[in-house]
Amino acid sequence: MTITEVSKKFGLSPDTLRYYERIGLIPRVNRNESGIREYTEEDCKWIEFIKCMRSAGVQVETLIEYVTLLQQGDTTIEARKQILMEQRDKLISRIEEMNRALARLNFKIEQYEARLVPVENKLKRLAHNI
């Protein structure tokens, strides 16, 4: 696959794909005779994983660390597992944080919906503070 195909497939710009490769987040992609990137199935699978983690907020640096360990072979299995577990914990707390915010938004929206409109002034405090 060419870079534009991969770009369209995953919704990452060609610039981003090149950038990811440059910083070591994606292992070096093979080039054809004239130096143009030719993405393999394997490359795509990895990119999809990266896309998934990035869009969940996992830091680029962490993912680089992970791919680096991966390339070092079986001796790094424990370290990799550690990273995954750390990221899982972080993800869980961020999800909890977001659920709290969501509950709050829902409450506020309900206030607006319960024809709060005409008595907004009176109930302003209540509506804003929970």
| CB closer to DNA out of 60 and 70 | 60
Give the one entry of a second copy, DNA, none that residue 122 binds, where binding means its C-beta sits below a cut-off of 5 to 8 angstroms depending on kind.
Answer: none
The DSSP annotation for 112-128 comes to: HHTT-GGGHHHHHHHHH
Give the one entry of a second copy, DNA, none that residue 46 binds, where binding means its C-beta sits below a cut-off of 5 to 8 angstroms depending on kind.
Answer: a second copy
**Token pair 């405090």 in the structure block, residue:** 125
The 8-class DSSP code of residue 56 comes to: T
In whole angstroms, what is the distance from residue 86 CA to residue 102 CA?
Answer: 24
CB 76 within 8 A of CB 69: yes
Give the one entry of a second copy, DNA, none that residue 33 binds, where binding means its C-beta sits below a cut-off of 5 to 8 angstroms depending on kind.
Answer: DNA
The residues that touch a second copy, with contacts defined as CB under 8 A, are 45-46, 49, 52-53, 55-58, 70, 74, 77, 80-81, 84-85, 87-88, 91-92, 94-95, 97-102, 104-106, 108-109, 112-113, 116-117, 120-121, 128-129
Distance of CA 102 to the CA centre of its chain: 19
